[in-house]
Structure 1
């Protein structure tokens, strides 16, 4: 199936590794051009080298209030258009409600929640007539993940932002979707599992497919949802989880 991505231009935040990089790879493979972001210049350079001449990069932190406008301008400057955005950001550190201080909650809110809102707000005026914004959420939208209190607190609210955004931009043909990764074999998940190998075995047993997902399996779904092939998909949160989430 042709996703209709040839020549289109996308912003992929957190695109230097993990789920963001996997999405950037899938977009480039389908003929799109991408601007990827990451927190370090070195990470950005490495990702752009891997993606090839259809990619450029900008070092930026989603939590920086000035980042959103700068990133949207970078895509339009590089490619003359903006057809979609994937908002991905590394999750907050493991935490609990009772032991996590105010500063950690504020940092998580700035990076995960408000950073995503700012990027969406900056992107919409530049977005093409059939463009799309996708936000990478978490299975914690439906059910909390033990030991990730800050993420559990923020992701469900961001899912409702996706629903509201879809209502606001839908009348002009634009779309907003959320994507809920389950246990995808990223570097971050490897670090979490390394601290509790027995927990990793239990986690795999709860997935109907009995394995973690591979990042490209997530990236291909994200590329589809951002593409014209998904033109009637909006205002929803799509799981990519191997059947992990038991709720409808």
Structure 2
């Protein structure tokens, strides 16, 4: 029997980056994994990596209609769930003076409202003793330029980690958060011009106490720990940031 043999795990935002790496870890360990994402081609590519232990569902993390439909699909495919990794989220940078209502609403809808109602919709399917993991960010304790709204949305999620942990105690469900710092997920290479991406990475490395970027695998290991092995922990936040928020 492998580590996660027979476990049923749901990962929102599982088609790329940290979500996909975590899905690979669980699937390799024998789990059945259901991943979500908004881009069908990315979901299809993820399924090719994950194999027949995975199910992919196109779902918008900010849509309550999609979230309710997701709960129905999870119940149909899995019945009960052993772990829920609420990872779907977006980032955007804008100065305080240039931030628009549209940007503000988009970040909070996906990063705060979506996770809240995802946990609400899937909570009835969580087995006793299961673990919920939310993805926060190192920025929820740091004041960084041009990230005021993104940081606030992740700070809201940190608060929810505590309150949802309290709410779900009677069901014997644990709720914790993983807080990534500078992680090399490939998103910079996809979203930043090639002539500046290495300069940005060098800056992140030089300002980090460990003098390097983290990997998706390092975050995935923390998620797995919180989901299954941290059996006497709830309401906590686990930084995976090379010491950036601590030193």
Alignment partner, residue 72 of structure 2: 73
What does the per-residue CA deviation read over 1:8-40, in whole Å, with 9 as the maximum and x for residues that have no partner?
111101100011111111111221111111112
Alignment partner, residue 171 of structure 1: 170
Alignment of 1:1-248 (within 5 A): 4-190=3-189, 191-192=191-192, 195=196, 197-227=198-228, 229-246=229-246
CA distance in 2, matches of 1:67, 1:11: 15
- Equivalent residues of 1:131, 1:175 under 8 A apart: yes
CA distance in 1, matches of 2:94, 2:5: 42
CA distance in 2, matches of 1:172, 1:212: 38
User: What RMSD over aligned residues (CA atoms) do the two structures have, in Å?
Assistant: 1.9
Aligned length: 245
Structure 1 runs not aligned, ≥5 long: none
CA distance in 2, matches of 1:199, 1:54: 37
Could you state the TM-score of these two structures normalised by the residue count of structure 2? 0.92
Deviates more, 1:197-206 or 1:85-94: 197-206
SS, match of residue 203 in structure 1: helix
State the shift of 1:67 in Å.
Answer: 1.8
CA distance in 2, matches of 1:192, 1:46: 22
CA distance in 2, matches of 1:109, 1:64: 12
- Equivalent residues of 2:60, 2:67 under 8 A apart: no
CA distance in 2, matches of 1:76, 1:157: 28
State the shift of 1:68 in Å.
Answer: 1.7
Could you state the TM-score of these two structures normalised by the residue count of structure 1? 0.92
- Equivalent residues of 2:10, 2:81 under 8 A apart: yes
CA distance in 2, matches of 1:217, 1:193: 26
Do the aligned partners of residues 3 and 140 (structure 1) sit closer, same or farther apart at CA in structure 2, a change above 3 Å counting? Answer: farther
Structure 2 runs not aligned, ≥5 long: none
State the shift of 1:241 in Å.
Answer: 1.0
State the shift of 1:183 in Å.
Answer: 0.6
